[in-house]
Chains A and B, each alone.
Chain A
Amino acid sequence: MNDLKQIAKTIRRDIIEMIYAAGSGHPGGSLSLADIFAVLYFGQMRHDPKDPAMPDRDRLILSKGHAAPVLYSALARSGYFDPEYLKTLRKTDSFLEGHPAMKTHGVEVGTGSLGQGLSVGCGLALSFKKRKTLQKVFVILGDGELQEGQNWEAFMFAGHNRLNNLIAVIDLNDLQIDGKVTEVNSIEPVADKIRAFNWNFMVIDGHDIPQIKTAFEKAAASDKPFAVIAKTVKGKGVSFMENRAEWHGKALNKEDYEKAMAELL
């Protein structure tokens, strides 16, 4: 458990380092996912960093592609590539694009235009069912992202087809670029909506590692597709970023960087 906490902290430090080095990027929605990614890539998911194309691996789709830094850090720290490369984020000729792309080992599909990942997850889950394998698909969604209508086409399809190998993680930090999700165009009551689409779900504190683990255990035993509704804090771990919409897509200056890294010791 302490290990996972430590890993989450390392991921947060990487996020800050990467975005500072890049001079642009999305710290807020990356930091809110650090604990969940620590659990997924260090124990929960079946995968092999030395064999990114392992046929029977679980798949993760980062539908909220702007949180690429949290994914890249989890991939690097679990062994897909040397963490030294993280500093090349968003640089010309780097394999670390601003949003996830197939050129990075461990990225399953390119994402960045919001609302598309859950449909791809449905296709993968269906493909696993057809091949009668026990693989799972994890799709990471933002809460603001649920304003995209395509998600609800996918929720409906997955519920109708009982894709119980599909797990959606909703990063419920209640912030999007223009402000609070509940004020811009509320998605609440999100749990009721998801239940109405014939999914099971669990609402958790997305920064509490035991709760995250429990949610994935419940998901594994579910007879329906499963949503982990993770209440999170945008910018979690860096006091001056926490719950601040302006840190959705803003780079850090030197002073911000030093302050943030001091808090993440």
Chain B
Amino acid sequence: MNGHDKIANRFGYSDALLDLIAEDNNVIVLDADLAKSTTTSRIKDKFHNNFIDVGIAEQNLVGIAAGLALNGHIPFASTYAAFIAGRAFDQIRTTVCYSNLNVKLAGMHTGITVGADGPTHQMLEDIALMRVLPNMVILNPCDANEAYNATLAAYKHKGPVYIRFVREATPVLTSREDEFIIGKAKVVRQGKDITVVTSGQILAIVLDSAGMLEKEGYDIEVINVHTIKPLDVKCLSESVKKTGKLLIVDEHQIHGGLGTAVFEALTLENVHYKAGIIAVNDTFLTSGPHDELLEKYGFSVEAISEKVKSFFLYHTL
């Protein structure tokens, strides 16, 4: 696998589920009438008895998953993030998290790149919603292989896990052989001038930007925070202590997302740094092709590079 291949990371999810069910019949995959989109139809085709479609009823989806977990099954409830993290929030909070049940939630089609479906389906608030829940773990894999590994890690973890996926095919950056430990961020590129923190599909764009900036003499450190909760504060704090500059790039509303999580954590770490953030600025977006939307809202190589450079306006490299 290399950066030229493109696969939607939701296929990493169903690949992992197929492998898990082959080993463990306790794994049950649930969907709410979006099995083609979420890719769980692949489980339905191969392991019919391990698949349940509850229809268009997300609150019931989460409750049924909770009931299955109470008897030792390991449910993976899958549907669009807008409908599971949004519509079923109280079920996730009060039934799943309060009782600390072993329920896995897959939020599909997160972020801007649901594209033409528009703001109703562009889930840009899910990290904020899930992050405030006690017992919840949040994973945001950057590509199909990391999605595969994140799904296996969610299976091994005892307790609620929320995993984010995107619709579009994105570059494959990692390998299934890479280590994936919940709560352990990855420095995917070492540098000394500035720390750029991101997760999910945006990592590919950030890495392209770092490559471009290198040619102009900037030495960028890039951290992939695939686990948004629990956050790897040690890794972040060490990097920012070194560079003194921190840029967050988060495909999420500016309030309550990765930026909020990182800034909160570093506040308690006695680290001094100059900070910036690229995120969706407290607004609903529009329909449009995904590449145009990424460009329009600042998630482009150019916009990220410009933002990085703005940190150095009054400094000499």
Closest-by-CB residue of A relative to B91 is A116
Known: A110-B99, A112-B94, A157-B54. A127 touches B67 (CB 8 A): yes
Q: What sequence of 0s and 1s flags, for each residue 90-127 of chain B, a beta carbon within 8 Å of any chain A beta carbon?
A: 11011100111100000000000000000000000000
Cβ-defined contact, A120 with B71, below 8 A: no
For residue A124, CB closer than 8 A to chain B, the reply is yes
Cβ-defined contact, B55 with A119, below 8 A: no
Most chain B beta carbons < 10 A, residue from A111, A112, A130, A137: A130
For residue A44, CB closer than 8 A to chain B, the reply is no
Known: A120-B67, A125-B67. A130 touches B49 (CB 8 A): yes
Cβ-defined contact, A150 with B60, below 8 A: yes
For residue A101, CB closer than 8 A to chain B, the reply is yes
Cβ-defined contact, A59 with B70, below 8 A: yes
Closest-by-CB residue of B relative to A116 is B95
Query: Looking at chain A, what size class is its interface with the partner chain?
Result: 20 to 34
Contact of B91 among A102, A119, A122, A130 (CB under 8 A): A119
Q: A12 to chain B: closest CB distance in Å?
A: 28
For residue A239, CB closer than 8 A to chain B, the reply is no
Number of B residues near A (Cβ < 8 Å) is 30
For residue B303, CB closer than 8 A to chain A, the reply is no
Q: What sequence of 0s and 1s flags, for each residue 69-99 of chain B, a beta carbon within 8 Å of any chain A beta carbon?
A: 1111101000000000000001101110011
For residue B35, CB closer than 8 A to chain A, the reply is no
Q: B187 to chain A: closest CB distance in Å?
A: 39
Instruction: Supply 18 further A-B pairs (C-beta < 8 A) apart from A102-B100, A109-B95, A109-B99.
Output: A101-B99, A108-B70, A110-B95, A110-B98, A112-B94, A115-B59, A116-B59, A116-B91, A118-B63, A119-B91, A121-B67, A123-B63, A123-B65, A123-B67, A123-B68, A127-B71, A153-B57, A156-B55
Pairs A-B, 4 closest by C-beta atoms:
A123-B67, A119-B63, A153-B60, A127-B71
